[in-house]
């Protein structure tokens, strides 16, 4: 077993520590930010007349080919991506190197909870104009995990229950929160919610077991 | 209220109907397939020496600019994307037009269940070398919804419980299944699971309420 993965706790100007990696405006982070624009633009355009989608496809393949040419062997990459601060850079919720992530920037509060605000667009759509219920589950699962890192012992998800109170709107600011509520031996209980305009859209309850996954080396 | 959204049920050669949209090898689908390669390649490369990430970023911004230039107004796009067969083309689980989606290709079986196989890579990583628990929740929420479309009345997720039995491996074939178990008035109950090499990694139970979201027009 390795030590508990560290989280990035540099204090930003607002004095509440960011528990997620900072997005840099250069290197792979900047390329990933551009890739997020492409994902959203493809959904916004669809098969729009005038868009040269054949050229778009070939340009994107060229970009992928260039990156693949310079990528280290996967086994080696899995070691470096899980070393040091890398731990929060690749996940599909907060990772600045993962174009699937909105990304969520979670901050720890003095009361032991964590919070983030985000606005989601077309890539995260479920029902027309609303966030996919499974995307809400994805954001909350991760937020509860980070709340454990911030508020007390952390572990692996054993059980997660989501309750959908009202549809979660796209294109409007959402607040995502998490808070550890109890620790009983290795059993950790954590709750969270997604709210829009002060109303709870989705709430979550998680049971986590205090074991740490082994890191590749 | 509109009619229940139709799902694509063209019978492929294996005689079990695909409940998700077919991926075309031209137009926006082909561009989205290339975008998926870019997402994965960015994670595989990271800040790899020799990769010209500045050029990658500017190329991707040019692609996004080109698409944005030709995209219809969002309000209009929301109407067309929810018309006819479009209903299954944009979601973040099965959508051939959504680069976030693996995409899952779900097929309906004669016993009323639905099933898909998929292999997930770095964009879906949670613990080192394993699928993110929230990604499993995303896939299962959607699969349970499609199982409702296939097996009986369908509706909106009210409650979803995920149980994590063992870590779900990346880079190995996964089977995702869903099956409606009961309908009691407007209450629909549905179960599902993700298995790897025949062993259940994650199981899900959902309660759905038989209401249909309104489609934009």
**pLDDT by residue (tens digit) across A5-19?**
334 444 344 446 778
Sign of the torsion angle spanned by Cα atoms A203, B144, B208, B166: negative
User: Quick one: closest CA in B to A165, which residue?
Assistant: B158
For residue B88, is it left (φ>0), alpha (ψ between -120 and 50) or beta? alpha
- Say whether residue B31 is in contact with chain A using an 8 A CB cutoff: yes
As a whole number of angstroms, the distance between CA B6 and CA B3 comes to: 8
Residues of B in contact with A162 (CB under 8 A): 137, 157, 159-161
Residues of A in contact with B141 (CB under 8 A): 132-134, 137
Quick one: pLDDT at residue A9? 42
Query: In chain A, positions 191-210, which contact chain B (CB-CB < 8 Å)?
Result: none
User: Quick one: closest CA in A to B205, which residue?
Assistant: A161
DSSP state of B116: E
User: Per-residue pLDDT for A106 more than 50?
Assistant: yes
Q: Measuring CA to CA, which residue among A204, A215, A212 is closest to residue A177?
A: A204
Which residue in B49, B53, B127 is closest to A31 by CB distance?
B53
Report percent pLDDT > 90 for chain B: 79
Domains and CATH numbers, chain B: 27-209 (3.10.129.10)
As a whole number of angstroms, the distance between CA A85 and CA A21 comes to: 8
- Say whether residue B57 is in contact with chain A using an 8 A CB cutoff: yes
Give how far A104 is from chain B: nearest CA, Å.
Answer: 14
> Which of B2, B55, B69, B92 is best to mutate for the A interface (most A CBs within 10 A)?
B92
Question: Are B38 and A38 a contacting pair at CB < 8 A?
Answer: yes
User: Per-residue pLDDT for A86 more than 80?
Assistant: no
The neighbouring-strand residues paired with B78 are none
As a whole number of angstroms, the distance between CA A210 and CA A155 comes to: 4
- Say whether residue B84 is in contact with chain A using an 8 A CB cutoff: no
Mean pLDDT, chain B, rounded, equals 90
User: To which residue do tokens 């979550």 refer?
Assistant: A204
- Say whether residue A88 is in contact with chain B using an 8 A CB cutoff: no
Residue range A138-153: average pLDDT? 94
Question: Are A44 and B50 a contacting pair at CB < 8 A?
Answer: no
Question: Are A44 and B125 a contacting pair at CB < 8 A?
Answer: no
As a whole number of angstroms, the distance between CA B137 and CA A133 comes to: 9
- Say whether residue B170 is in contact with chain A using an 8 A CB cutoff: no
User: Per-residue pLDDT for B206 more than 50?
Assistant: yes
As a whole number of angstroms, the distance between CA A147 and CA A154 comes to: 8
Residue range B78-99: average pLDDT? 89
Residue B183: count of CB within 10 angstroms of its CB: 17
Q: Measuring CA to CA, which residue among A122, A132, A138 is closest to residue A192?
A: A138
Give the 3-state secondary structure of residue B156.
Answer: strand
Question: Are A35 and B35 a contacting pair at CB < 8 A?
Answer: yes
Quick one: pLDDT at residue A14? 47
Show the tokens assigned to B148. 């409702």
Confidence band (pLDDT; 50, 70, 90) for B16?
A: low
Question: Are A51 and B64 a contacting pair at CB < 8 A?
Answer: no
Question: Are A30 and B49 a contacting pair at CB < 8 A?
Answer: no
Its pTM stands at 0.92
Supply the DSSP string of chain A, one letter for each residue: -PPPPP------TTSSPB-SPPPPSSHHHHHHHHHHHHHHHHHHHSS-TT--HHHHHHHHHHHHHHHHHHPPPHHHHHHHHTSGGGGGSSSTTT-TT-TT------EE-TTS-EEEEE---GGGB-STTBB-HHHHHHHHHHHHHHHHHHHS---EEEEEEEEE-SPPBTTS-EEEEEEEEEEETTEEEEEEEEEETTEEEEEEEEEEE---PPPP-
User: Quick one: closest CA in A to B88, which residue?
Assistant: A126
Show the tokens assigned to B27. 């137009």
Quick one: pLDDT at residue A16? 64
Residue range B60-77: average pLDDT? 97
Do the Cβ atoms of A6 and A87 come closer than 8 Å?
yes
Question: Are A60 and B134 a contacting pair at CB < 8 A?
Answer: no
- Say whether residue A161 is in contact with chain B using an 8 A CB cutoff: yes
């Amino acid at each position: 077993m390795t030590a508990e993965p560290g989280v990035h706790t540099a204090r930003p100007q607002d004095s509440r520590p960011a528990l997620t990696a900072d997005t840099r405006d250069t290197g792979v982070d900047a390329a990933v930010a551009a890739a997020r624009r492409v994902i959203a633009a493809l959904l916004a355009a669809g098969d729009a007349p005038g868009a040269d989608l054949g050229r778009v496809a070939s340009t994107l393949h060229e970009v992928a080919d260039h990156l693949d040419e310079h990528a280290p062997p996967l086994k080696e990459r899995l070691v470096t991506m899980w070393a040091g601060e890398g731990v929060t850079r690749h996940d599909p919720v907060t990772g600045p190197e993962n174009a699937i992530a909105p990304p969520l920037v979670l901050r720890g509060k003095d009361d032991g909870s964590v919070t983030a605000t985000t606005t989601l667009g077309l890539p995260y759509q479920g029902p027309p104009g609303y966030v996919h219920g499974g995307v809400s589950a994805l954001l909350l699962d991760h937020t509860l995990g980070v709340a454990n890192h911030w508020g007390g012992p952390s572990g692996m998800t054993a059980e997660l229950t989501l309750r959908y109170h009202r549809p979660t709107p796209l294109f409007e600011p959402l607040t995502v929160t998490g808070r550890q509520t109890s620790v009983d031996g290795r059993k950790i209980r954590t709750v969270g919610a997604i709210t829009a305009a002060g109303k709870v859209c989705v709430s979550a309850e998680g049971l986590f077991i205090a074991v740490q996954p082994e890191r590749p080396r």
